[in-house]
Amino acid sequence: MAGGWTRDGAVQDQIDDTVADAVLAARASMPSGASEPYCAICGDDIPGGPPSAPYPGCAPA
Ligand SMILES: [Zn+2]
Question: Does residue 17 lie in a domain region?
Answer: no
In the chain, the percentage of residues whose pLDDT exceeds 70 is 64
Question: Does residue 56 lie in a domain region?
Answer: yes
Q: How far apart are alpha carbons 47 and 44 in whole angstroms?
A: 9
Q: In the chain, count H helices and then E strands.
A: 1, 0
- What is the 4 CA–ligand 1 centroid distance (Å)? 33
Domain with 60, as residue range(s), is 33-61
What residues does the ion ligand 1 have nearby, CB within 5 Å?
Answer: 39, 41-42, 55, 58
Question: Looking at the 3D structure of the chain, how many domains does it have?
Answer: 1
Identify residue 27 by its one-letter amino acid code.
R
| pLDDT bucket at 19, cuts 50 / 70 / 90 | confident
- What is the 46 CA–ligand 1 centroid distance (Å)? 9
Question: Does residue 38 lie in a domain region?
Answer: yes
Is the confidence at residue 33, as pLDDT, over 60?
Answer: no
Question: Does residue 6 lie in a domain region?
Answer: no
More confident residue, 31 or 15: 15
Question: Does residue 4 lie in a domain region?
Answer: no
Question: Does residue 37 lie in a domain region?
Answer: yes
